[in-house]
Structure 1
Amino acid sequence: MHQPKALQRIVDVYFRDPARTTAVKAGTHVLSQDGYNDKLYWVKKGELSGYLNTDDDSEMTAKVFRVEQGMFFGVHSFFAQTLMASTTVIAEKDSELAWIDLETQPVEPETYGSLSEQFMPVMVHELARRQMLTGLQAIEKEKALQQLYAAEQMTTLGQLAAGIAHELNNAVGVLSSKTEGLQNGICRILDESKPHVSPFLDLGICTGQSATSAEVRQRAKQLQQDMGLGRDQARQLARALPEGEVPDFWLKNVDEALQYWDMGRDLHDMRLAAKHATSIVRSVKQLGGTDTARQPDVDVNDTIHKSLSLLQSNLRRVDVVLRPAILPPITASTTELVQVWVNIIKNACDAMEETEHPQIEIITRYSKNRLLITISNNGPMIDEATRRKVFQPNFTTKKGGLSFGLGLGLSIVQRIVHSYGGTIALKSDPEKTKFRIKLPIA
């Protein structure tokens, strides 16, 4: 280790005597807090740590410094001449120590002064080093507090979400059951009073509108040309019958047929929306809950579907390609797995805000007693420096907004995956950014 000249002279003059050198094994208590000490130690080899015990009955111990090759300890008790160690110093590794004591005489005092004057560089050096250590510990403490505050904030939000989801679940349940009852009642009345319109209603209930807006426009133009229908009639008929020939019984009274198909389509959409809302509410309750107990027979594909339900608003402009394989069940917490997929997919959505045709591809596979889950997106490439940091706590590239930018998401993802004995890796190139997660079956 490189030393300033003044320090190097002190080492060479005072700490090269084999008679004042000793070897200590790892775990040895070299100094005990409040114990007698009349020596100044220099670490010739190894590593030691200083621990401070509290004065109360809590018996708490804090690591306050670490010394390694080329460093000193015992400075305070030796030069302040308290002769009482302020900390307990323990060898972390097998070490070799050299020392001077109160009997040591100054060398060349006429040139370099008294012993205290000669060792002034040691005291200044140690003071600066301790101040730096204190500053670093303060920074780490502040980081820990920020993580604690962020975790508390997210826990509170989760609890609020779970409470709101519970209330919404009751309302959605009423809507779902009433829609079912309304549909049955309308079908029964029409079967008795106007049975000839039942096929139109039934078609709307069973299939709803399957054609896209572009397909409807194209089909409507063709119907206007072939059948001479008005623009509104042609569009509505294109929604009801997006392909094939139009049966004659539809044309006997087009307006009535479309009226009852439209009614059936609305009932279909109401039931579908109620079912979708129920799924989202269930996922929110699960994600906001604190029950992370691991249960057998968890379907990983099902947890991915739950995550996609939670992120519907984020995925509106994203093409989601899901390629699931038949997977064996695993013992896991559905809440934890949903949290993993939500964090990764949400990050992908945020990254693709300026991508022209955003796409997320999710592939699940089973191989060699492991589940392989790959989540990729076609957003911008993540540079190597960022890739090395994405799993670190408090690292974020988000600058604000509803994403919070706490830098905890992928750190939590990694912690959860590792807790299952799994691995997570990130690869990124100009064409695709890919997260690859491996989860063992057992």
Structure 2
Amino acid sequence: MQEVAVSAERRQISLADAFWVWFKIGILSFGGPAGQIALMQRILVDEKGWVSEQRFLHALNYCMLLPGPEATQLAIYIGWLLHRTLGGLMAGILFLLPGVLAMFALSISYAALGNVPLVEALFFGLKAAVLAIVIGAVIRLGQRALANAPRYILAALAFLALFVFDIPFPLVILCAGLFGLLAGRLGWQSFVPAGSGHAAVDESHLHSVTPSRWYALKILAVWLPVWLAPLALMLYWLGPDDVFTQIGLFFSKLALVTFGGAYAVLSYMAQQAVEFHGWLAPGEMLDGLGLAETTPGPLIMVVQFVGFLGGLRESGLDPLLGGLIGGLIASWMTFVPSFLWIFLGAPYIESLRNRPVLNSALAAITAAVVGVILNLALWFGFHVVFDDVERLSVGPVDMALPVFASLDVFALGLVLMALCCQFVLRLGLFSILGISALAGVLLSWISGV
């Protein structure tokens, strides 16, 4: 790999410092993509100043266009910027590992005991804190990315397309990018990338790679076998009808079409896992998604729950061993491609940062991403504050609305308390999470008495 030459006086961030930051992000990454992106923005941009707002959004725009969990890919991208391949591996693994371990523990408990009310109570308050953090992130991101009226309009249109008309978000992002390309070619100043509003961030510590055909071939030669060699071995040794092979085949295909995160592919995953493969009983997919919502890491971690139950019930091995192997296969086939997409594409995306027309496209995507995150935040908020959410489908309108009679006043009180801690008392992240978690446990106990 040909590394871009940099000054000998570059700012240094040690691997040890990065390790502990990624470890903290990994164990606190609750709330789905909106919460995870908000957390990374707060720590990496606002607190640490390791990347500028523009660099952060540039990476996020690329990750939004990829299949798979965008927050996981964003962590890998920024880890790669900080410490190249080793940094990307460290960031991605530490982002995923807490959720993998927690999901295994919850899957084992679920198989033995059914739903785990104690876990739901434990994270009752934590969800309220995450919602408050997401709201803060949407406000900060909007202030920095929406520099003028056309960008506000584009963000609003993206939000309406997603929230009101349920248009697939990859299509929304693609349309925004095409609009930005047109704006750039026409020289519209509204989509010329602006500064973040901060003092300049020293980014001399960030690395890059000169993209080339040989670089791409090297990445493909390493990461395609890492991803697919286990599947090839299972096909050879176990045959195509073995449950582990079926899990590997299913989730390797799913990794290529998971645009929009867990909820976008949940119906397809449930149909195949329940009706075709018979790994789960009806209704268990929603139980798995509920467990995934209580763990750190991406919500698509529900694939591990599906693989666990498939291996537990169909492998013929000791149930626990079969479940662990099935869950590991599902996670491997789902998340390894994220490393491939970033290590392969990030050098090319970085090389485009100084091209005006393409920057206009990315500026338009950034504006649309504000609408995307607002939609995610609102969806998450509905499910935190209300017990029931229904869909309103009238003509082209297809939107989620809360059942107002199902308002959870305890959850609403926790959200308001967390917002007060953040915006009035200006408490730190750990303080907000700790206070909210403690209050959530107490309120759950009181409301259950």
TM-score normalised by the shorter chain: which range applies? under 0.3
TM-score when scaled to structure 2? Answer: 0.23
For the pair shown, which has the larger CA radius of gyration, 1 or 2?
A: 1
Q: Which has the higher helix share?
A: 2
TM-score when scaled to structure 1? Answer: 0.23
Structure of greater relative contact order (alpha carbons < 8 Å, 6+ residues apart): 2
Q: Which has the higher strand share?
A: 1
